[in-house]
Amino acid sequence: MSANPFLDPALVRGRLYRGDGRLADRTHALHRAKISGSDVADTIADLLAARVPTAADVLDIGCGRGTTTLRLADRLRPKHLAAVDASAALLHTTRGRLADAGALGSGVQADFHHLPLPDSAADAAVAAFCLYHSPTPDKAMAEIARCLRPGGTAVLVTKSLDSYAELDHLVHAAGLDPHATSRPSLYESFHSDNLRTVTASHLTVLDVQHEEHVFRFADATHLARYLTTTPKYRITLTGGIAAVTATLQQRLAPPPYTTRSTVSYAVAVRP
């Protein structure tokens, strides 16, 4: 077992993504707190729309609940859109959301280190917030490059190592996890600082952009909802969200609680 839950295959396949509820709750709590920063799915679609032909073949690798997939379907109107993920449950959610939106797209259950897709077939590929689940993101990058046609475009997205570090200090100060400030970053294998190098291992990097996102949790319950769904902390307190809320209220200064992350985008092409 890895010390980093994002790099622990049993946790990634199990508790984190076996169902879609935990990811949905975490994402919802974070989005509700967001006070600045662009919409990531919109930014990805903008970056690709500038480079990808109409009626393209597009891959969304590590699609999760399909938020980016839906935006790609809407903005790029691809000829074929394949949503790829290791989790059957998340693919089920993505397929359902595509169908509800009347969008064309297929789901492929696969590990991004071994994509069951032909060589040189895709015009564009996205891998957003997923390659940090690999201890060897360069191997996944090799697969992405193999599937792109020469000249095809990839957009890779990740976060900075210090994303949400303010929350580590709050969790520590509240006594919920004494090791919160000393745990490795969830993004340690693929992050803002190695994004360019890892991408350049198999693709030609055209551009790297970084944007700070700011989040303000208005009350302790809202913060508790996020803290209890992020795998970084080992909160052993029993009683769920209500107990964590009460502890935050007793031990921390009054809200709001503010934190930051840096979202980084690489745009690259297959030579």
Ligand X SMILES: C[S@@+](CC[C@H](N)C(=O)[O-])C[C@H]1O[C@@H](n2cnc3c(N)ncnc32)[C@H](O)[C@@H]1O
Answer for which of 130, 141, 167, 263 binds ligand X (CB under 6 A) is: 130
Report in angstroms how near the CB of residue 126 gets to ligand X at its nearest.
8
| Contact code string over 24-63 relative to ligand X, x by CB under 6 A | --------------------------------------xx
| Contact code string over 86-115 relative to ligand X, x by CB under 6 A | xx--x--------------------xx---
Residue (of 92, 109, 89, 88) closest to 100 by Cα position: 92
CA dihedral 238, 241, 246, 249 (to 10 degrees): 140
Pick out residues in 177-196 that bind ligand X (CB under 6 A): none
> Taking contact as CB under 6 A, which single stretch among the options 123-131, 161-169, 191-199, 201-209 is the one that binds ligand X?
123-131
If binding is defined by CB under 6 A, does position 141 make contact with ligand X?
no
Write the DSSP assignment of 74-96 as a string of letters. Answer: HHH--SEEEEEES-HHHHHHHHH
If binding is defined by CB under 6 A, does position 6 make contact with ligand X?
no
Pairing verdict, β 148-159 and 257-269:
antiparallel
Residue (of 181, 255, 253) closest to 218 by Cα position: 255
- What is d(CA 38, CA 136) in angstroms, rounded to the nearest whole number? 29
- What is d(CA 150, CA 148) in angstroms, rounded to the nearest whole number? 6
Residue nearest to ligand X (CB): 64
Q: Are residues 142 and 202 in contact, defined by beta-carbon separation less than 8 angstroms?
A: yes
Cis ω before 256 (30° cut-off from 0):
yes
Report in angstroms how near the CB of residue 120 gets to ligand X at its nearest.
21
Report in angstroms how near the CB of residue 1 gets to ligand X at its nearest.
16
Report in angstroms how near the CB of residue 247 gets to ligand X at its nearest.
27
Q: Which residues bind ligand X (CB under 6 A)?
A: 12, 17, 62-64, 67-68, 85-87, 90, 111-112, 128-130, 133
